[in-house]
Amino acid sequence: MAPVCFFSFEQLLGYLILWIGIMTWLRWLTLEQKIKEILFDCDNTLVLSEHLAFEACAELANEILEKHGKPERYTGPQLLKEFVGQNFRGMMVSLQKKYGFEIPEEEFNQYVDRELGKVVETLEKKAEPCAGATEVLEKLYKSKKYGLAVVSSSALSRVQASIRKVGQDKFFPSEHVYSAATSLEKPTSKPDPAIYLHACKEIGVEPSQCVAIEDSKSGATAAKNAKIPLIGYVGAYDEKEEQDRMAKMLTEECGAITIMYHWNEFFDCMEKVEQSLA
């Protein structure tokens, strides 16, 4: 009598994948721990927000260019491609240098406030999480193995609006959400490492005891210059070709230890980071 098989091939494959995932999770939990704190970028790392933010500020950027007699105009996607990872303040500093004009400080700050209002309103309505990010945060939060913090270039109210809209705010102590535009005495933007160094000091950890998760060259450069081990995330880029290009850049130019194409690879990436520091 032939043996009876109660499972289809697809079911067996599914159980195998589940088993591998469980074993990876258990192996990660038992690793000798070198890292104490995980520092997450927000925009296009935890939350799909960059395209919304740049669409919201394109009109304002074009208004500024027109006022200063510059013929160039930008769409949201064009701004995103050129200035990804920078906040509005950093982007406007770059535009002034590129096109040779200067905005008085008071007027500059008024533009920053206007842009922030537009972006926060948009994010509160439309922001969505990066695929798999919330599930990873929930596992990390429950495990209590690492401290969790957000370290962003964006204004604090924008970061808070983003993570609140997608239900991620519960995973981070409110005092461990940091903004280069708001948290520092002198506002700045990545790639300046100041916000990372500030976060480490406030939390009470050395940069070498942290790992940063970044999706852009400017953010990854900030982590590198702060001497923080880096995981590059490229899952927010639409095309595989662009993902591979960014993966190469984050590895070769910014020193990423490993690259994450999807958040379901996170625990494998953390294992590689821990092993690299052994």
Q: Which residues contact 122 (CB under 8 A, 6 or more apart)?
A: 52, 53, 55, 56
Q: What is the pTM of this model?
A: 0.79
Tally of CA atoms within 13 A in the half-sphere of 8 that contains its CB: 3
Is 218 in contact with 230 (CB distance < 8 Å)? Answer: no
Tokens of residue 174, six digits: 């409110």
Bridge partner residues of 117 (DSSP): none
Which residues fall within 8 angstroms of residue 37, CB to CB, at 6 or more apart?
146, 147, 148, 149, 200, 203, 205, 209, 210, 211
**86-to-36, 43, 221 alpha-carbon distances in Å:** 27, 10, 12
pLDDT digits (tens, 9 = 90+) for 215-231: 999 999 999 999 999 99
pLDDT at 81: 85
Q: What is the pLDDT of residue 25?
A: 60
Question: What dihedral do alpha carbons 150, 155, 44, 177 form, nearest 10°?
Answer: 10
Does residue 262 contact residue 129 with C-beta atoms inside 8 Å? no
Q: What is the per-residue pLDDT across 10-38, written as a single tens digit (0 to 9) for each? A: 777 777 777 776 766 666 555 567 899 99
* φ, ψ dihedrals at 132, nearest 5°: 90, -10
Alpha helices (H) along 68-193:
76-83, 88-99, 105-126, 133-143, 156-165
User: What's the confidence (pLDDT) of residue 269?
Assistant: 97
Residue 88's contacts (CB-CB under 8 Å, 6 or more residues apart) are 57, 111, 112, 115, 116, 119
C-alpha–C-alpha distance, residues 89 and 107, integer Å: 12
- Intervals of the chain under pLDDT 50: none
Residue 40 host element (H or E): strand 37-40
The pair phi, psi for residue 130, each rounded to 5°, is -65, 140
Distance between CA atoms of residues 22 and 26, nearest Å: 6
Q: Which two tokens stand for residue 183?
A: 């948290």
Residues β-bridged to residue 231: 213, 258
